[in-house]
Homo-oligomer: A and B are copies of this chain.
Amino acid sequence: MSGLDSVDLSTANAVAAGTNKSTKRIVAYGIGGKLMGTKSMTDVTAEELSKDSVAEMLAKDKKIKEKYAKQKHISEQPWTLENWHKHINWLNFILVLAVPVGGLVSTRWVPLTWNTFVTAIILYCFGGLSITAGYHRHWAHRAYDCKAPLKIFFALFGASAIEGSIKMWGHQHRVHHRYTDTPRDPYDAKRGFWYSHMGWMLLVPNPRYKARADISDLLDDWVVRAQHRHYLLLMVFMAFFFPAILTHYLFNDFWGGFIYAGLLRAAFIQQATFCVNSLAHWIGEQPFDDRRTPRDHILTALVTFGEGYHNFHHEFPSDYRNALKWYQYDPTKVVIYCMSKVGLAFNLKKFSQNAIDQGILQQQQKKIDRMRAKLNWGPQLSELPVWDKSTFFEKAKEQKGLVIISGIVHDCANFLTEHPGGQALLRTSFGKDATMAFNGGVYAHSNAAHNMLATLRVAVIRDGGANGDTFDAQLRFIKFIYDLS
């Protein structure tokens, strides 16, 4: 629309990427910031992202293509015996593999006691809920606000899940929502189940598809900053030593706590929450919109503390709920709700029921439309030949079975033996106008009968007042008679 001031895409993308503000960099000690992250994917300026207006994007694409025509990035090269080790993000590889394998192997020497098992389950729930209620719904989506004690709890036990810092996780997750199902989506479900489950973090990503999202609100949160700075320390302590020390003091079982409530518990949380990126984009229903990959499935919900209603979640991301119905499993929602009752959570956000119902309705409409296209509704009136009355007389003489109803000619020859009202009545109508008889003069036919009638259409009578919605015409005719009498 020329003449109108359009939103400047460069500026807007800078806002969306958070690069318009000069926030001071928050640096993690050691390798903490890189853990479980794909930092190299998000190292891009807003200016680069905003070159996506149609013309510039094509130019940029061409330039990148040319560049990689000569020398392709490792992620674009096939796997060979020489280069396979370059494909892999070894830091993440070790961390995601060392934890479960280390845990499994160590079970040979240390038996699992009942007490330690219960501790592991409790810490599993603490870690899992800190990811779902904390990392995801509170920080990544701002679905509700939190008091400091709860934030600190989430930050500590979230670290125990070994999925990266809040800052890293929240950023990646916002990028995932902003670019769902595109190559910029860090866990792009279109690249297959394994890629979205773990591949994205085990492989070196393609720098062509860098992306950013604004996380200035996260950086304003001291809990987020502190956790990111000390992430490595916190993670190692909360994931392994805290459980070990706990079981040591309670049940004198240091190594049991380290292995079962530490290593193995963390491995389980990892796999469970990775399912939100894989399973939740792979199996289930799409009650709200089916044009993107997210899906609702009870199985995903069961392994992810209720994050399985993912079709809803992508349509209504800042809703503190994932499941709407009481019979759907969403313990995270329940925890948030309870926290709000004790004053630790507030400003719980909900989308309007109107917007939610609109989505459900539009999906149902699509289903019905698909079914409608599969059924035989008979020809449209516009597809039929137009006959003069004289043509009808002639044809009806040669060919038994032609009946006019509502100005439309029907061929009832094959329906004769099937007519529930008997053959005799249909026969008396052959070659005649049976509008009155069919619509109540003899019998006011059901809606089903009108549907069947439409499949028998062969022609339209010129100036015969043809009306395709014959059942509606009948209803109005009957009402007319009733109103008269």
Measured between alpha carbons, how far is A431 from B5 in the docked complex, in Å?
8
A354 beta carbon closer than 8 Å to chain B = yes
Q: Mark A421-440, 1 if CB is under 8 A from B, else 0.
A: 11011001101111111001
Q: With A428-B7, A465-B1 given, is the CB distance from A365 to B368 under 8 Å? A: yes
> At the interface with chain B, which of A22-30, A52-60, A249-257?
A52-60
Nearest-CB residue, chain B, relative to A20: B424
Nearest-CB residue, chain B, relative to A477: B54
Q: With A57-B481, A57-B485, A214-B422 given, is the CB distance from A428 to B375 under 8 Å? A: no
Q: With A361-B371, A368-B365, A428-B12 given, is the CB distance from A289 to B214 under 8 Å? A: no
Contact partners of A317 in chain B: CB under 8 A: 420
Q: What is the CB-to-nearest-CB distance from A390 to chain B, in angstroms, rounded to a whole number?
A: 9
Q: With A5-B431, A9-B437 given, is the CB distance from A448 to B359 under 8 Å? A: yes
Within 8 Å by CB of A443, from B16, B440, B441, B446, lies B16
Measured between alpha carbons, how far is A435 from B7 in the docked complex, in Å?
8
CB <8 Å contact, A446 and B392: no
Contact partners of A452 in chain B: CB under 8 A: 352, 355
A108 beta carbon closer than 8 Å to chain B = no
Q: With A315-B446, A447-B362 given, is the CB distance from A432 to B389 under 8 Å? A: no
Contact partners of A90 in chain B: CB under 8 A: none
Q: How many residues of A contact B (CB 8 A)?
A: 89
A442 beta carbon closer than 8 Å to chain B = yes
Nearest-CB residue, chain B, relative to A480: B54
CB <8 Å contact, A15 and B447: no
Nearest-CB residue, chain B, relative to A447: B289
CB <8 Å contact, A9 and B375: no
CB <8 Å contact, A448 and B315: yes
Measured between alpha carbons, how far is A389 from B376 in the docked complex, in Å?
48
| Chain A contacts with B in 334-384, Cβ cutoff 8 A | 349, 351-352, 354-359, 361-362, 364-365, 368, 371-372, 375-377
Measured between alpha carbons, how far is A433 from B455 in the docked complex, in Å?
50
Measured between alpha carbons, how far is A227 from B270 in the docked complex, in Å?
78
A314 beta carbon closer than 8 Å to chain B = yes
CB <8 Å contact, B289 and A58: no
| Chain A contacts with B in 444-485, Cβ cutoff 8 A | 446-448, 451-452, 455, 461, 464-465, 475, 480-481, 484-485
Quickly give the copy total for this chain.
2
CB <8 Å contact, A425 and B15: yes
A274 beta carbon closer than 8 Å to chain B = no
Contact partners of A481 in chain B: CB under 8 A: 54, 57
Nearest-CB residue, chain B, relative to A371: B361
A291 beta carbon closer than 8 Å to chain B = yes
CB <8 Å contact, A436 and B6: yes
- Which of the listed residues A52, A362, A448, A484 has the most CB atoms from chain B within 10 Å of its own CB? A448
CB <8 Å contact, A13 and B433: no
Measured between alpha carbons, how far is A356 from B291 in the docked complex, in Å?
30
Contact partners of A178 in chain B: CB under 8 A: 443
Chain A residues engaging chain B, CB cutoff 8 angstroms: 1, 3-9, 11-13, 15-16, 52-54, 57-58, 61, 141-142, 178, 214, 217, 288-289, 291-292, 314-318, 349, 351-352, 354-359, 361-362, 364-365, 368, 371-372, 375-377, 389, 392, 404, 407, 418, 420-422, 424-425, 428-429, 431-437, 440-443, 446-448, 451-452, 455, 461, 464-465, 475, 480-481, 484-485
Closest 10 CB pairs of A and B: A318-B420, A315-B448, A7-B437, A4-B433, A358-B451, A289-B447, A6-B433, A7-B434, A9-B441, A5-B432
